Amino acid sequence: MNIVSILLGFIIVLNILFAIVMIFRERRDAPSSWAWLLVLFFIPVLGFVLYLLFGQNLSRYHMFQWEDRKKLGIEKLLATQLEDIRKNTFAFQSETAKQHKQLINMQVINNDAVLTEDNFVDIFTDGNKKFSQLFKDIEEATDHIHLQYYILKNGELGKKLVAALTKKAAQGVKVRVLYDDLGSRGLRKSFFKELRAAEGEVEVFFPSKLRWINLRLNYRNHRKLVIIDGKTGYVGGFNVGDEYLGLDPSFGYWRDTHLRIQGTAVHAIQARFILDWNQATEKRTIAYSQVLFPEPVTLVGNSSLQIVTSGPDSEWEQIKNGYIKMISTAKKSVYIQTPYFIPDASLLDALKIACLSGIEVQLMIPNKPDHPFVYWATLSYVAELLNSGAKVYIYDNGFIHAKMIVVDNEIASVGTANIDVRSFKLNFEVNAFIYDEDLARKLSEEFQQDVLQSREYTLEAYHQRSKAIRFKESVSRLLSPIL
């Protein structure tokens, strides 16, 4: 008994020391601190191990530093826009963009997100169509292909993609592939053997020092970008895996949203890729070259876009702040699709205020979890929206992974950021903010088509949930600040 008492006393003292270290060294926000304290005291010692894996603050420990924050290729355009904003002389070509100049100014000033107004955008909601077009663009590449995905799997789609890239590399096209080590866990270097033999280059973001285990579970690069010849860019929710083609029975049809962009906005996507690539490599960094940022020969389109990025290396949560600003300007409607809905207080309050102001707020989430704790936490936040008058739909035609918000059928955002703390604070994300009524209307129409394949989730249905679900939801809600 004495040994047990001593051991318990040691664990208690150790846990208190861990808590002190966490609170006074990290100085994180209060909800997150309380969540971690619960983990520490309900799961002694092991809780601290989980904290080391999931909870460390990147900025405090300087796990890495951006050596070059310079936005290659768009410095002059950025400097011009910043000066025009300062003088209030920016000449908007789009009336829709002009009406939302405060949102645009915020993203230019705080995120270096230049506004481009000469873009043509294709919207893809089906993986087969998206990858069919991507393979066509790859086949037509003449100078370079830059490809970055959070998840890249060794399945049929992944093999087909690498084979296509290998073919182009053998033809002399410069091919660079960047993938996240944790998102693509299990992917061996040998998967790219033939691509490397053809002079293609492959880098890994935030790799593990251990072969099979990556202990750095936070601060992942969740971006999905492709740039071809500096003229065509892709951004959105699709990763590379057979499930994104609807071939995984556990998910069924995969509903996502991805954009194919042509125009000057591609320069901003290219600049983002170069920053991420140069961070991942020391020997094969990319320097500025005119061929990476070709000027459009003719006017491609007239859609206004900003490519907005966020991550734990930034002082501001730019994408989340963009969402809040969009919602605050709504006069009629806000439509949201997201696989996870764990908003912080500021975003949840913005949506509640919109509901209480008579704005039509509609939210669509999946009918099944791919991350259980996140799913049950989502339900608890959904209930708060229902109480405020929002409509919530459960997508029943497979799995919905789209990250999209449309306001008043005027402006929209599509990209990689989910509505949760992980996307807003812990992951590196990228979204296209769109100031184009035609595109916003198309996205809104896609949302309404999805409503036809969904069921409305009501307060009555929520209150009828089982005791087991209530328990899971309560625990998940407590942990939501660290999910």
Q: What tokens were used for 212?
A: 């099979």
CB 270 within 8 A of CB 288: no
Rounded CA-CA distance 4/6 in Å is 5
CB 70 within 8 A of CB 274: no
Q: What tokens were used for 476?
A: 């998940």
Q: Of 134, 136, 101, which Cα lies nearest the Cα of 115? A: 101
276 exposed, middle or buried (CB, 10 Å; 0-12, 13-18, 19+)?
buried
Q: How far is CA 349 from the centre of its chain?
A: 21
Rounded CA-CA distance 179/478 in Å is 32
- What distance, in Å, lies between the first and last C-alpha atoms of the chain? 38
Q: What tokens were used for 67?
A: 């050596």
- Helix (H/G/I), strand (E/B), else coil: 448: helix
Contacts 24+ apart (CB under 8 A), 184-187: 184/149, 184/150, 184/151, 184/152, 184/153, 185/214, 186/153, 186/154, 187/152, 187/153, 187/154
DSSP codes joined into one string, 58-127? HHHHTS---S----TT-HHHHHHHHHHHHHT----S-HHHHHTHHHHHHHHHHH---EEEEEEEEEEEEH
- Helix (H/G/I), strand (E/B), else coil: 357: coil
Residue type, 449: Q
Integer CA distances (angstroms), 411 to 96, 341, 462, in order: 8, 21, 31
Locus of tokens 């449309």: 406
Give the catalytic positions in this structure.
Answer: 222, 224, 229, 401, 403, 408
